[in-house]
């Protein structure tokens, strides 16, 4: 799960040996995410492979204090597996596995495999305002070769005045051989209610250089966020806007708008509007309902211009049509 002031992670050789005398008990938490896709019109006129079907995923998170200023965390994702016995059907995948060392009040060294430190949207269902991710999150997820929108490497974070500055040396986002990616992220609170983040990620291929600037305003009732992404290749720019209103302690409503402009000639912009309602049935059980209206004027053959491995739908880049979903999220 992404934490905004989370400072990305890495495993130092000097930390590889941990004394067996540390006997502190670890903490286990996680969630189960159950989604029923009522309708998926992005495949029309063909039948949708996901409509009128249940999808169940879950996550187990384990945290342990290795020493006074040293922590470990492992997140394991589980999903439905097929019965064909091949490796592509494996149901267990590692999301995060890192050690974080707080060397002083102002400096932290963390590392291993961890959630992408750059971007507005959280990765895991309990931290999201709706069922599906926005287009910007999906673009960044596409760039990272690891499972989910995750990266691997070393990062150092320090408090500089009112902001936190993070620098990371990572495996190449696309897993290019003998290449590395560099991350620089700055975030902080302009005021108590307003957090702003900006940063850059590099890679060999793909979008080549990703610049992301995002902000989130939160008060007791309203949450308003915005995000801008600029790419050096494949994608020119992308914009995401969201607003969430807390109707009551149990009920909330969210609207989100996304649009992406592509670099390739002849490829039109895609856009989507997401409407979601969330209701807290119990303290640890919530239900979400979502309608996603996608506008994608591109021909299916245009997908190869962007990326042949995007996992796109049958029609264009994101698919043209409406998707309706129902979700149950249980946490522990």
Q: What's residue 311's pLDDT?
A: 57
Q: What's residue 17's pLDDT?
A: 39
What pTM was estimated for this model as a whole?
A: 0.89
> Could you tell me the CA-to-CA distances from 90 to 30, 84, 259 in Å, in that order?
20, 10, 34
CA 74 to chain centre: 17
The per-residue b/e assignment along 174-184, b for 16 or more CB within 10 angstroms, e otherwise, is beeeeeebebe
Q: What DSSP string runs through 157-205?
A: EEEETTEEEEEEEEE-TT--TT-EEEEEEEEEEEETTEEEEEEEEE-SS
Which three-class secondary structure string do you get for 31-82?
EEEEEEEEEEHHHCCCCCCCCCEEEEEEEEEEEEEEECCEEEEEEEEEECCC
Statement: residue 93 has pLDDT above 50: yes
Average pLDDT, the chain: 89
SS3 assignment, position 319:
coil
Average pLDDT over residues 132-158: 95
Statement: residue 19 has pLDDT above 60: no
Residue pLDDT, tens place only, 98-126: 999 999 999 999 999 999 999 999 999 99
What is the helix (H) or strand (E) element at residue 140, kind and residue range? helix 135-143
Task: State the pLDDT confidence band at 302, using cuts at 50, 70 and 90.
Answer: confident
What is the helix (H) or strand (E) element at residue 261, kind and residue range? strand 251-262
Q: By the 8 A CB rule, do 136 and 37 touch?
A: no
Average pLDDT over residues 259-286: 96
Percent of the chain clearing pLDDT 70 (strictly above): 87
Average pLDDT over residues 221-236: 96
Residue pLDDT, tens place only, 25-69: 899 999 999 999 999 999 888 899 999 999 999 999 999 999 999
Q: What's residue 88's pLDDT?
A: 54
């Amino acid at each position: 799960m992404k934490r905004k002031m989370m400072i990305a992670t890495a495993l130092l050789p000097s930390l590889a040996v941990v004394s067996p005398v540390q006997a502190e008990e670890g903490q286990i938490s996680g969630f189960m995410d159950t989604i029923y896709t009522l309708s998926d019109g992005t495949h029309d006129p063909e039948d949708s492979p996901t409509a009128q079907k249940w999808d169940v995923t879950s996550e187990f998170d384990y945290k342990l204090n290795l020493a006074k200023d040293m922590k470990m965390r492992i997140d394991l994702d589980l999903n439905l597996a097929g019965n064909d016995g091949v490796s592509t059907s494996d149901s267990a995948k590692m999301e995060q596995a890192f050690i974080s060392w707080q060397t002083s009040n102002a400096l932290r060294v963390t590392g291993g495999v961890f959630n992408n430190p750059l971007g507005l949207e959280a990765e895991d269902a309990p931290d999201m305002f709706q069922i599906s991710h926005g287009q910007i999150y999906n673009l960044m997820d596409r760039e990272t070769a690891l499972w989910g929108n995750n990266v691997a490497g070393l990062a150092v974070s320090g408090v500089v005045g009112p902001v936190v500055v993070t620098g990371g040396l990572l495996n190449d986002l696309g897993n290019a051989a003998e290449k590395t990616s560099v991350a620089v992220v700055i975030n902080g609170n302009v005021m108590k209610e307003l957090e702003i983040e900006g940063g850059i990620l590099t890679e060999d291929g793909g979008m080549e250089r990703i610049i992301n600037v995002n902000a989130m305003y939160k008060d007791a009732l309203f949450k308003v966020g915005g995000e801008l992404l600029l790419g050096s290749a494949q994608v020119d720019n992308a914009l995401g806007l969201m607003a969430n209103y807390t109707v009551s302690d149990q009920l909330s409503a969210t609207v989100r708008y996304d649009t992406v402009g592509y670099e390739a000639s002849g490829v039109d912009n895609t856009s989507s509007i997401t409407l979601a309602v969330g209701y807290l049935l119990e303290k640890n059980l919530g239900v979400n309902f979502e309608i996603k209206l996608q506008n994608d004027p591109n021909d299916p053959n245009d997908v190869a211009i962007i990326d042949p491995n995007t996992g796109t739908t049958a029609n264009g880049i994101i698919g043209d049509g409406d998707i309706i979903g129902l979700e149950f999220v249980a946490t522990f």
